[in-house]
Structures are given as C-alpha cells and as structure tokens.
C-alpha cells in the first residue's frame, strides 16, 4: 500500500507569486504534522514550490502539468466550488472531464514511483486537487467531501495498483480561507 498526499499551495503576496508570511507560517504548521515523504512533486509555479519548501520538504520533481490550467477549464468558472459541483462538471464530459482525467494519470504515475509502504507529497493548485480526486475515485460520495479545498488543504489517497480510499485534509486555521 502506498499513500499519495495532494495539497493546494499556501497563500501568496498578491499580485506577485511569492508566499506571504501568513502563507509560510501556515505551510510550516501543516508540514510539522505531515511526517516523512519518500517523494515530493510540485507544479512549476513558484508558490507551489515554495509551499513544499516552507512545509520543510525538498522538491524532488517538478511537473508543469500540475500547474497548467487549460483556458477552457479556467473559462468554465467552476472553481472555487464544492466537490459535488466539480463532480457535476467532470460528469459533463467536457473540458473539465478531460482535465480531471489528466490529473488522474499524473497522480497514478507519481503513486507508482512510491516505494511499497511509502508516501509522496504533491503540491499543486485549487481545482487540480478536487478534479484529480474525483477522477481517482469516480464512484465515491463526492458530496460528502465538502467545500472547495483551501490553502494547504488537500486529499490523502491510498494506492495499491488503483486508488482505493480518499481522506479530505482540512486545515484547522482560519487563514487558509483567504481568497486566492
């Protein structure tokens, strides 16, 4: 059994790409409770890389596809939205469905690199987490997973050839609710 933890980046200082002090502190808080990871993968967007580092982890791999939101997906206006709303968009078989399938393929590839009994961390972005989780466990009760993923929140999936379970990772800190 392998574990894949996928988290959204932390807060940044707008309009720039660099993390804010609150974002760094939130990432440290989350990282302190996360334990060891055998592999850490980030999107190529600076706030995602910096989040992994602020959490206390070396980034082993960078995957640009973890940070590239296609224009037609962005234009759909789906995010921020609850898991059940994203599920409806994924079920439409349109651009978000294709996007979710791509995240599922990326996540599966990362999970296959994890040693048996090991863990990997992926740091990505809003909608990437929700869509990828839905595609990874299409039969799950997505409505029970709650609202949109906030800063440093995410999912923890178990993998044994396929994704088998999903735990929603919420942050007990109101700072994560700040709008992106």
pLDDT tens digits, one per residue of 63-121: 999 999 888 888 887 778 899 999 999 998 889 999 999 999 999 999 999 999 999 99
How many other CB atoms are there within 10 angstroms of residue 45's CB atom? 20
- CA dihedral in degrees (38, 43, 49, 54; nearest 10)? -60
Q: Give the residue numbers spanning the domain of 139.
A: 2-177
Q: Which residue carries 């759909």 as its tokens?
A: 76
Domain count, the chain: 1
Average pLDDT, the chain: 92
pLDDT for 176 beyond 70: no
Q: Which residue carries 């968009």 as its tokens?
A: 89
Residue 180's pLDDT is what? 43
User: Is omega for the bond preceding 15 within 30 degrees of 0, making it cis?
Assistant: yes
Q: What distance in Å separates the CA atoms of residue 143 and residue 120, rounded to the nearest whole number?
A: 26
DSSP strand pairing (154-159 vs 163-169): antiparallel
Residue 175's pLDDT is what? 55
Share of the chain above pLDDT 90, in %: 82
Residue 9's pLDDT is what? 96
Q: Which residue carries 């660099």 as its tokens?
A: 18
What is the domain-level CATH number for residue 12?
Answer: 3.40.50.1240
CB 59 within 8 A of CB 53: yes
Distance, first Cα to last Cα, the chain = 34
């Amino acid at each position: 059994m392998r574990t894949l933890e996928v988290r959204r980046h932390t807060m940044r200082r707008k309009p720039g790409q660099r993390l804010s002090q609150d974002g760094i502190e939130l990432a440290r808080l989350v990282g302190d409770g996360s334990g060891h990871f055998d592999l850490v993968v980030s999107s190529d967007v600076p706030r995602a890389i910096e989040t992994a580092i602020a959490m206390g982890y070396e980034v082993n791999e960078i995957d640009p596809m973890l940070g590239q939101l296609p224009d037609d997906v962005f234009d759909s206006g789906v995010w921020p939205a609850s898991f059940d709303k994203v599920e409806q968009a994924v079920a439409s078989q349109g651009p978000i469905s294709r996007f979710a399938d791509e995240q599922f393929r990326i996540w599966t590839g990362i999970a296959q690199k994890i040693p048996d009994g090991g863990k990997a961390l992926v740091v990505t972005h809003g909608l990437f987490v929700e869509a990828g989780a839905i595609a990874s466990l299409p039969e799950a009760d997505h409505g029970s997973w709650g609202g949109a993923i906030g800063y440093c929140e995410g999912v923890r999936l178990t993998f044994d050839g396929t994704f088998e379970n999903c735990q929603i990772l919420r942050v007990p800190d109101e700072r994560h609710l700040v709008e992106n």
